[in-house]
Amino acid sequence: MHIDKLEIKWATVSLLIAGLFVSVILASAFMHGVHAPSNVEPIDSARLHLSAEFAEDKLGAQQNPDGSVTVRMVAGRYGFYPNTVTLPAETEITFRWVSLDVLHGVHIPMTNMSTMIVPGYVAQIKTSLHHPGDYPLLCNEYCGMGHAHMWSNIKVVSQEQWQTLNHKGESNHE
């Protein structure tokens, strides 16, 4: 089969351009700690209140034996529950999200905590928040008339402060 020289040249150029784009995407994904959607864990969105994990009294932050923290939250039109969660800085945090109605997105600006919350599935993100302070938690997936008002608050405190809060037996969900 004969392939024209010019054709080979152009094919090479276009492959190089495609390769460049792929490497730019991969480099920025690794640099920003982007999470590819990968957690396929079904859950019955209509019966969250009856589930072992996402019943109302199980929501919020919980410290695991290894010191890491798991946060369970429910997204529903138009809010995230619990409304405020206090978390320790510089700690491995696993967020587990479920939706009780429609598709939502959740996002903490300037961090890599960003995921879609698809009804019927648990969305899971591992991250760590470096600086104490108040972080907004925003919905970034249009979910209805109240979408723009769907936001909550994450309060990040130092590890010492968090331990004191925990040992006083104060609940982390308000």
Q: Which residues bind ligand CUA (CB under 6 A)?
A: 104, 139, 141-143, 147, 150
Task: Give, for 135, the enclosing helix (H) or strand (E).
Answer: strand 133-138
* Residue from 96, 116, 98 nearest 106 by CA: 116
Q: Closest distance between ligand CUA and the C-beta of residue 139, in Å?
A: 3
Three-class DSSP category at 68: coil
Q: Closest distance between ligand CUA and the C-beta of residue 108, in Å?
A: 15
Contacts of 25 (CB under 8 A, 6+ apart): none
Q: Closest distance between ligand CUA and the C-beta of residue 136, in Å?
A: 14
140 vs 157: CA distance, rounded Å? 25
Q: What Cα–Cα distance (Å) separates residue 29 from each residue in 22, 32, 96, 141, 172?
A: 10, 5, 21, 21, 32
Nearer to ligand CUA by Cβ, of 80 and 162: the residue is 80
36 vs 160: CA distance, rounded Å? 32
Q: Closest distance between ligand CUA and the C-beta of residue 155, in Å?
A: 21
Q: Closest distance between ligand CUA and the C-beta of residue 35, in Å?
A: 19
